């Protein structure tokens, strides 16, 4: 009981300190004068418009590489409206002028324009990085910067995973990331953020496992908080699923018998979820204190629309048209929404090249299992991996509204499912056979 009390107190203290840091960082970025951002905002607005035009020619049901320039334009819009006189209010309110590329163009054309909308229900933590970058770079240049950063983080993780778990997992991890169509990610700011958080979280979790195992749950708490703080709304399950799978396999590698894998997944998921949800609730509390009840009500209305099982008319029309092209005999109204949600996600993934790659891995895994199956069983870890792998599927089945509307980027969360399943296929293979034979 005493131990649980210490855990609760430590978690509360960590949440409070982190929330203070979050607010402080946003306040600091609001000290950047708007005039310093005008040049790159103007260039960025023109670039986003041109890239959106090119992106719109992609058919609705062939959107594996579809960008989200609407959200990027909102992010740039919000980045422009700093307020050096009222940094706290500006940090909480996150004001902007309208939304979308057309409104961003209006902002670029008229630097003296005033904001007319408070996007207060999210933290918009990305602004603490985006605003300083806009002092030096425009939108395309930020995309180039993010591309370098993305692949540096990816290669660092591949080397680390090779050393800590094995070459087989490093290869499977790389295949999983590639299968999520990563070519466009770094160029699109909104699509990049979750991967950056995940790639930073993995080495942190591995380091804590080696040096401070008792801090792992707090690490997942912070990962959940950072996910809510920095992300605009994409595929948050990656920031839990990827490091969790890595942690399970690192424990299996050293035959850590002190851990109960399934129980550990539940505990870490609870801490991640606690961090994720409490960070949002803290923001709503700050919104209420600074801006009033009306803004909190708007956040509640948005949440209700997100979790509803009603599909907006525009999205419904696209579904009808797209399904008619793929399967003319099927009717959207005859299909349950959860099946449509899963179908859209799988449609993004189940491409010929991907299926060939998965087929090769499955055949290779089964062949290796026949020749080099481990004597020790890894049943508990296998079930824990499958539990993690199921989480994105649960999201797609339950949260049908956001998945159907935003399937063209939400589908990337299924990377956790793919990595988890491929890991279960290979976890029982004895890859150290030759090393033991020589010894």
Asked whether 198 and 238 are in contact (CB, 8 A), the reply is yes
Asked whether 342 and 396 are in contact (CB, 8 A), the reply is yes
Q: What average pLDDT does this structure show over 105-133?
A: 91
- Cα separation of 320 and 333, whole Å? 9
Distance of CA 75 to the CA centre of its chain: 16
Main-chain dihedrals φ then ψ at residue 431, nearest 5 degrees: -80, -10
Which residues are paired to 373 by β-bridges? 429
Q: Where are the alpha helices (DSSP H) in 292-328?
A: 293-307, 313-326
Nearest to 37 by CA among 78, 5, 6: 78
Whole-prediction pTM: 0.90
pLDDT in tens, 329-384: 667 777 788 788 888 888 888 888 888 888 888 888 777 777 666 656 567 888 99
Q: What average pLDDT does this structure show over 292-315?
A: 74
pLDDT in tens, 56-113: 666 554 567 777 888 899 999 999 999 999 999 999 999 899 888 889 999 999 988 8
The pairing of strands 117-118 and 95-96 is antiparallel
Q: Where are the alpha helices (DSSP H) in 30-138?
A: 38-55, 69-80, 87-93, 101-109, 127-134
Neighbours of 354 (CB within 10 A): 18
Main-chain dihedrals φ then ψ at residue 124, nearest 5 degrees: 60, 40
∠ CA 226-227-228 to the nearest 5 degrees? 90
User: What is the per-residue pLDDT for 140?
Assistant: 92
pLDDT in tens, 387-438: 999 999 999 888 888 888 888 888 899 999 999 999 988 887 766 654 445 4
| Conformational region of residue 94, where left means phi above 0, alpha means psi within -120 to 50, and beta covers everything else | left
Percentage of the chain surpassing pLDDT 90? 47
């Amino acid at each position: 009981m005493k131990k649980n009390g210490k855990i609760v107190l430590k978690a509360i203290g960590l949440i409070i300190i982190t929330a203070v840091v979050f607010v402080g960082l946003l306040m600091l970025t609001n000290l950047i004068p708007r005039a310093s951002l005008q040049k790159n905002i103007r260039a960025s607005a023109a670039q986003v418009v041109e890239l959106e035009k090119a992106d719109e020619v992609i058919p609705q049901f062939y959107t594996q590489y579809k960008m989200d320039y609407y959200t990027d334009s909102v992010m740039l819009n919000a980045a422009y409206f700093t307020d050096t006189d009222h940094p706290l209010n500006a940090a909480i309110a996150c004001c902007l002028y309208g939304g979308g590329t057309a409104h961003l163009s209006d902002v670029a054309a008229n630097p003296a324009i005033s904001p007319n909308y408070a996007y207060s229900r999210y933290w918009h933590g990305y602004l603490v990085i985006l605003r300083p970058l806009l002092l030096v770079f425009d939108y395309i240049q930020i995309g180039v910067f993010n591309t370098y950063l993305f692949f540096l983080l990816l290669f660092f993780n591949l080397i680390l995973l090779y050393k800590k778990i094995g070459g087989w997992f490093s290869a499977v991890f790389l295949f999983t990331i590639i299968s999520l169509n990563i070519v466009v990610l770094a160029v699109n700011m909104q699509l990049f953020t979750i991967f950056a958080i995940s790639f930073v979280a993995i080495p942190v979790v591995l380091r804590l496992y080696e040096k401070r195992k008792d801090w792992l749950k707090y690490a997942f708490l912070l990962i959940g908080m950072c996910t809510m703080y920095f992300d605009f709304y994409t595929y948050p399950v990656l920031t839990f699923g990827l490091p969790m799978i890595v942690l399970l396999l690192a424990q299996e590698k050293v035959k850590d018998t002190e851990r109960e894998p399934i129980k550990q997944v539940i505990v870490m998921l609870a801490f991640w979820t606690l961090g994720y949800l409490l960070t949002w609730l803290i923001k709503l509390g700050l919104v209420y204190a600074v801006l009033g009840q009306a803004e909190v009500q708007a956040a509640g209305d948005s949440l209700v629309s997100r979790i509803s099982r009603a599909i907006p008319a525009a999205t419904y029309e696209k579904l009808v048209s797209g399904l008619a092209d793929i399967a003319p005999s099927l009717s959207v109204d005859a299909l349950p929404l959860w099946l449509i949600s899963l179908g859209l996600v799988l449609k993004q993934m189940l491409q010929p090249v991907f299926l060939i790659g998965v087929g090769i891995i499955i055949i290779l895994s089964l062949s290796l299992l026949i020749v080099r199956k481990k004597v020790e069983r890894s049943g508990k870890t296998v079930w824990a991996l499958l539990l993690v792998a199921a989480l994105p599927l649960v999201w797609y089945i339950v949260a049908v509204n956001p998945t159907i509307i935003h399937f063209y980027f939400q589908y990337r969360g299924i990377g956790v499912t793919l990595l988890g399943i491929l890991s279960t296929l290979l976890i029982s293979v004895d890859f150290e056979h030759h090393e033991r034979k020589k010894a």
